[in-house]
Homo-oligomer: A and B are copies of this chain.
Amino acid sequence: MATRPDISQLPFANRLGMELKEAGPDKVVAAIAVKKEHCTVPDIMHGGAIMSLADTAGAVATVLNLPEGATTTTVESKTNFLAPIVLGDVATACCEPFHKGGKLMVWQTKITRGDGRLCAVVTQSQMVLQPKSS
């Protein structure tokens, strides 16, 4: 099985200060402590930062399920924003599978804030790219 990914090696995730809390083939949890740099005006977490957190969680989850030599790319991602996450809070993304197929995996990531309230839900499809002529 795949080893735990080191997301500090992913420049964008790293720059956003994303932290991987849990990483198994059926559940990935990642978090961002919301600083000024993650915010829009007023001081709430920018939707793009929320989607970036979820997208990374879904990609990590897919990688943990890929067959040897295969890679993945996000083909689509849909987010519903439900409540704001304010500066100083922590956004936690929990990603779980809807479908883990040989060609496509579909993940749902729920983003909650410190008080446990659901703030966004992301559903994304990851294509599995098989190595050529393996």
Contacts and interface: CB of A to CB of B under 8 A. Distances in A.
Contacts of A15: 37
A8 to B, nearest CB: 11
Contacts of A37: 11-12, 15
Interface residues of A, number: 46
A125 B40 contact: no
Given A46-B13, A52-B52, A106 B80 contact: yes
Contact of A77 (B10, B74, B78, B127): B78
A12 B32 CA distance: 14
A75 interface: yes
Contacts of A68: none
